[in-house]
Structure 1
Amino acid sequence: MRPILAKAGRVARHSVARRARLFVILICIAIAAGHTWQSLSARLAQVENTRIYSGNIAKALARHAYDVFQATHGSLINISDRIYETGVDPAHTRGMSPLLRQLSKEMPQLDGLYIYDAAGNRMASSSTPRPADANNADRAYFIYHRDHEDGEPHISASLVSRSTGSWIIPMSRRLNHPDGSFAGVLLATLRVDHFNALYQTVDIGKNSSILLVLRPGTVLTRQPFEAGYIGRDITADASIRQLLGGPASGHAEILSPLDDTYRYLSYQSVQAFPLVVTVTIARDEALADWRQQTIVYGAAVSLLLLIIAMFGWRLIGQIELRLAAEDRALQAMGELRQANKQLELLAHQDGLTTLANRRHLDMVLDAEFRRATRSGAALSLVMIDVDFFKQYNDLYGHQAGDECLRRIALVLKERQRRPGDLAARYGGEEMVMLLPETDAEGAMVVAEKIRAGIQALDLGHRGNPVGVVTVSAGVCALDLLEGASRSVEELLGRADAALYEAKRGGRNQVRMAQAGMPAPAPVSAD
């Protein structure tokens, strides 16, 4: 009988050992899978942040290009109107050089202004005449206007000016005789370095680039500037041709036809002109921080897996020793309790601001409300909301928005002067200050100090008429609630209603809830 029982015991122990080994393997797989998922999620987030950042830059630079070309177009219209008033014959156009020089000085983007007759001879210019540019009949823009009767402005590929020796972008208009026949060309040349000077101020990385492209795909300029890239057609690459032929803006991951580098590309068309601004950030550069973190975390996870495997196999080797197994079980239970305590602490804290989170606020508010109701003690609550926060995120990005909330949270923490005071993040950009043993007047004082302290941070905000980040606040106290409506929900609702009254009143102010008054309909918190 004993051998049978011993054999059954050995089988049972082997079964436990096999299950333990399987468990260790599954744990290692789960940890590795979790790290892989976290790493891939971080990569996707980094790529998305790169796209948003480069897209915002492309939009801003496209707006700058529009302003430059629109101003130049206006000057061409002004000059052509004067030409038609006095006549397009050489006797009149030759005398317009002083006007061209004056206009050229007033517009820093211009390299020069020129008038050519029907044969391509220069009649007037803003620069000193040189034999090299006495006749421009061979230029592409001249040939275009000679062969096309439309009077719209025409932008040509970048070239080196014969007058100044600088890289320029020609923008021209056709001049006609009274009978509609070709009379010549009015030319404005924009300095390429005017655009490059702005592009150099944009921090997009060492191996990234900004291009101003003439549709369908001719490069007008590139930053970093390299003369060999000017005039190249990037639509020779089918993927870029399809991309730029689509919507007015977009983004994609491409293999650059200029330098064979994988890049994240964002583009934005220039309104009213056949131009596109592209911002490309090298993939290796965009993902450099993510790659470094992945390597460090991967090494840490590998070390952790090695430790788990070694510990597991050692535990399995000792699994038949009852006392050792119990000791290890007790140790594991202690570690689990410690981890649970840590998790419980984290569960009550907001990860971004380190204030109490909504869950912890609800627990404390419920307890303080019941205590104040039983004892008749005072209890007040301040509801705070950041003014125009959506515009702040749109203007400065979500990372700046997160930093703004952290700075505001620090102000609330400074106002937790008593052990019972509690600052919490209520949700989004809304925060709450719970003030036990404080009546409505005292809460108004605290709320005003919070509002003034946040404004004193002097965080710039172009979307706020004040020019800096401000908050609105609503205050409600327990003694303002009627007996039948004394509830946590009513306290929160009245404070929220007072907050929206502050919003309606112009923002950057504190309002107190009115006793017996119903909660008004909310307005936009931004």
Structure 2
Amino acid sequence: MKRDVRLATFLLWAVVISVSAATAWQVWSARKRTLAEIDTNNLNLAKALNTYAEGIFSQSAMLLLGVSERLETEGAGPQNLRRVQLLVGRQEQLLNQLDGLCIVDARGDWVMQSTANLLAVAGSAERAAYFVHHRDNPSREVFIGSPVRSPSAGAWVITVSRRMEDRSGKFAGVVVAALGIENFLRPFGAIDIGSSGAISLATTGGQLLVRYPYREQDVGRDFSRSPNFLRHYADTASGTASFRSTLDGMQRLYAFRKSDHYPVVTTVALGRDDALLAWRHQALLTLGVVAALLAAMAAGGRRLVVNIKRRISAEASLLAAREDLLKANRRLELLAAEDQLTGLANRRSFDEALTLECRRAAREGTAVSLLLFDLDYFKRFNDTYGHVAGDQCLKAVSAVLSNGVKRPGDLVARYGGEELAVILPNTDLQGARSVADLLLERIRALNIPHRASPHGRVTSTVGAASLQGARAQEGERQLVEAADLALYKAKESGRDRAMT
């Protein structure tokens, strides 16, 4: 029945663990799928915004190309500059992000500016990054420079510039288009990226150009040495990542895409907590349902186990009562077969055992021997020391005999009064005589004083007899008489000895 309890408990735990493991795996798999879907959506959005940024830079590049070619072929005369001014005005209607255009000559002096807001772009041209780049680099590709701020209007712009050359191919100046960051950010703000999301445009060198939500302190920030940039952005055209932002410390899920035509990278980031909010709600709902199911299952299983234990307890009580009854019966049987004083087998047990051993000897063709012990002058001992001492003496001698025979079939019994008997199955007469001598020596070794005996101590006389094979069949009486006769002869010979 205990096995039933263990089996029920094992099955209950197996179900609980299996359901818990399956639920955990399902929740974890759902989380992985959610993150994968978020990465895919973020990548798609990053590609779309990258296309948007490329379109703006491409329109700016086409404008710069047209202006630079016109100036290189027709010169920078007043009439030609007016035509350029008109061209820029028409282009501003097509390109909302365009705040204006300025032209800088080879010395760094501004030649034309479409609006007054560009004084910061033109006035310090000789020190501006775009001017130094085109002066020292013969490439005719557009250059996307760092954001600059107009001191008059306070607006931030991104500079997109192109090199101009004279007829001999020497550096002739720079044409610069200014893209307003505020107008650049307007489409970003129309996209739902959650309360902690962010969209940014940066150079591939690690300089931030535009970021939504807008924070002025982030404009132009250089994170080229940031571990996150070096690990995720440096050598990859596009990808996804998850890390804590160095700008605001927010943990986000990032997707980025580098432009195929310009040295810029577009990044879309969602706050991890916002992105996993729906998954978290679903996971909590699933875990709640499963927890309730497991609780109900555990309650039912516990009740089942308790009922099994109660049944086991009841059966154990019945078995214990049955065992107590059997023990009581065995004690009664033992009392019926045991001498109360010495603890040896009583006369009844002796008679039964002797009959069985004689039949076995006849059946198997072996020998069976009998030793009869009689304590010498035991009546005098009782008269001298009292019956209590006599009982103690009888117990001591009985213990010597019990300890002296070790084989399972040997039996020591109280034959009557001070007479003790030892049945020795499968033992011939010579072996019985050896056992008798050994036991006599151990009785002497007790050294129990007996001043009424000629020997001065308690001694015993032994008669030994043996029957062999078929002669033992129903020969128990003959065996007892032979041992008794030998005992009589030993007494006649002076006692304290064994005779056959």
How does the TM-score come out when normalised to structure 1? Answer: 0.55
* Amino acid in structure 2 at the alignment position of 1:218: Q
Q: Which residue of 1 aligns with 2:68?
A: 80
1:31 and 2:19 aligned: yes
| Match among 230, 233, 242 for residue 253 of structure 1 | 242
Q: State the alpha-carbon separation in 1 of the partners of residues 99 and 36 from structure 2.
A: 39
Distance 1:131 1:49, change over 3 A: closer
Q: State the alpha-carbon separation in 2 of the partners of residues 221 and 58 from structure 1.
A: 14
Q: State the alpha-carbon separation in 2 of the partners of residues 164 and 175 from structure 1.
A: 28
| Match among 134, 152, 160 for residue 141 of structure 2 | 152
Q: For residues 173-200 of structure 1, give each alpha carbon's deviation from its aligned partner in whole angstroms, at most 9, with x where no partner exists.
A: 1122223332211000112122211111
Q: Which residue of 2 aligns with 1:199?
A: 188
1:71 and 2:54 aligned: no
Q: For residues 121-145 of structure 1, give each alpha carbon's deviation from its aligned partner in whole angstroms, at most 9, with x where no partner exists.
A: 2211211488665443222211222
Q: State the alpha-carbon separation in 1 of the partners of residues 189 and 107 from structure 2.
A: 40
Q: Which residue of 2 aligns with 1:219?
A: 208
Mind listing any 5+ residue stretches in structure 1 that lack a counterpart? Answer: 1-12, 323-526
| Match among 51, 56, 60 for residue 44 of structure 2 | 56
1:278 and 2:267 aligned: yes
Q: Which residue of 1 aligns with 2:86?
A: 98
Which secondary structure state, in structure 2, belongs to the residue aligned with residue 195 of structure 1?
helix
Q: For residues 10-65 of structure 1, give each alpha carbon's deviation from its aligned partner in whole angstroms, at most 9, with x where no partner exists.
A: xxx11101111111111111111111111101100110110111111011111111
Which secondary structure state, in structure 2, belongs to the residue aligned with residue 236 of structure 1?
coil
Which secondary structure state, in structure 2, belongs to the residue aligned with residue 318 of structure 1?
helix
1:234 and 2:223 aligned: yes
Q: CA deviation at 1:76?
A: 0.6
Which secondary structure state, in structure 2, belongs to the residue aligned with residue 171 of structure 1?
strand
Distance 1:141 1:93, change over 3 A: same
Asked if the contact 1:95–1:124 (Cα under 8 Å) also holds between the matched residues in 2, the reply is: no
Distance 1:24 1:77, change over 3 A: same
Q: State the alpha-carbon separation in 2 of the partners of residues 243 and 111 from structure 1.
A: 33
Q: State the alpha-carbon separation in 2 of the partners of residues 274 and 296 from structure 1.
A: 46
1:114 and 2:102 aligned: yes
* Amino acid in structure 1 at the alignment position of 2:22: G
Which secondary structure state, in structure 2, belongs to the residue aligned with residue 235 of structure 1?
coil
Q: State the alpha-carbon separation in 2 of the partners of residues 269 and 100 from structure 1.
A: 29
Q: Which residue of 1 aligns with 2:322?
A: none
Give the count of matched residue pairs.
310
Task: Summarize the alignment of residues 342-353 of structure 1 with structure 2, pairs less than 5 Å apart.
Answer: none
Distance 1:219 1:109, change over 3 A: same
Q: Which residue of 1 aligns with 2:167?
A: 178
Q: State the alpha-carbon separation in 2 of the partners of residues 127 and 320 from structure 1.
A: 94
Q: For residues 227-281 of structure 1, give each alpha carbon's deviation from its aligned partner in whole angstroms, at most 9, with x where no partner exists.
A: 1112123332234223223332111222222222221111111221001111111
Distance 1:220 1:129, change over 3 A: closer
Q: Which residue of 2 aligns with 1:208?
A: 197
Q: State the alpha-carbon separation in 2 of the partners of residues 95 and 75 from structure 1.
A: 13
Q: CA deviation at 1:293?
A: 2.2
Deviates most, 92-101 or 115-124: 92-101
Asked if the contact 2:117–2:153 (Cα under 8 Å) also holds between the matched residues in 1, the reply is: no
Q: State the alpha-carbon separation in 2 of the partners of residues 231 and 129 from structure 1.
A: 19
Q: CA deviation at 1:90?
A: 7.9
Task: Summarize the alignment of residues 237-386 of structure 1 with structure 2, pairs less than 5 Å apart.
Answer: 237-319=226-308
Q: For residues 72-94 of structure 1, give each alpha carbon's deviation from its aligned partner in whole angstroms, at most 9, with x where no partner exists.
A: 10111011111012125789657
Q: CA deviation at 1:306?
A: 2.1
Q: State the alpha-carbon separation in 2 of the partners of residues 71 and 188 from structure 1.
A: 10
Q: Which residue of 2 aligns with 1:503?
A: none
Q: State the alpha-carbon separation in 1 of the partners of residues 46 and 165 from structure 2.
A: 37
Q: State the alpha-carbon separation in 1 of the partners of residues 223 and 268 from structure 2.
A: 14
Which secondary structure state, in structure 1, belongs to the residue aligned with residue 265 of structure 2?
strand
Distance 1:134 1:156, change over 3 A: closer
Q: State the alpha-carbon separation in 2 of the partners of residues 51 and 111 from structure 1.
A: 35
Q: For residues 358-388 of structure 1, give each alpha carbon's deviation from its aligned partner in whole angstroms, at most 9, with x where no partner exists.
A: xxxxxxxxxxxxxxxxxxxxxxxxxxxxxxx
Q: State the alpha-carbon separation in 1 of the partners of residues 82 and 278 from structure 2.
A: 61
Distance 1:275 1:229, change over 3 A: same
Q: CA deviation at 1:298?
A: 2.0
Q: For residues 279-301 of structure 1, give each alpha carbon's deviation from its aligned partner in whole angstroms, at most 9, with x where no partner exists.
A: 11111111112122222322332
How does the TM-score come out when normalised to structure 2? Answer: 0.58
1:136 and 2:125 aligned: yes
Asked if the contact 1:88–1:183 (Cα under 8 Å) also holds between the matched residues in 2, the reply is: no
Q: State the alpha-carbon separation in 1 of the partners of residues 81 and 125 from structure 2.
A: 16
Distance 1:164 1:73, change over 3 A: farther
Q: State the alpha-carbon separation in 2 of the partners of residues 94 and 179 from structure 1.
A: 25
Q: CA deviation at 1:160?
A: 1.3
1:44 and 2:32 aligned: yes
Q: State the alpha-carbon separation in 2 of the partners of residues 302 and 282 from structure 1.
A: 29
Which secondary structure state, in structure 2, belongs to the residue aligned with residue 146 of structure 1?
helix
* Amino acid in structure 2 at the alignment position of 1:292: H
Q: State the alpha-carbon separation in 2 of the partners of residues 75 and 96 from structure 1.
A: 10
Mind listing any 5+ residue stretches in structure 2 that lack a counterpart? Answer: 312-500
Q: CA deviation at 1:110?
A: 0.4
Counting aligned pairs with the same residue, the percent is: 32
Q: Which residue of 2 aligns with 1:518?
A: none
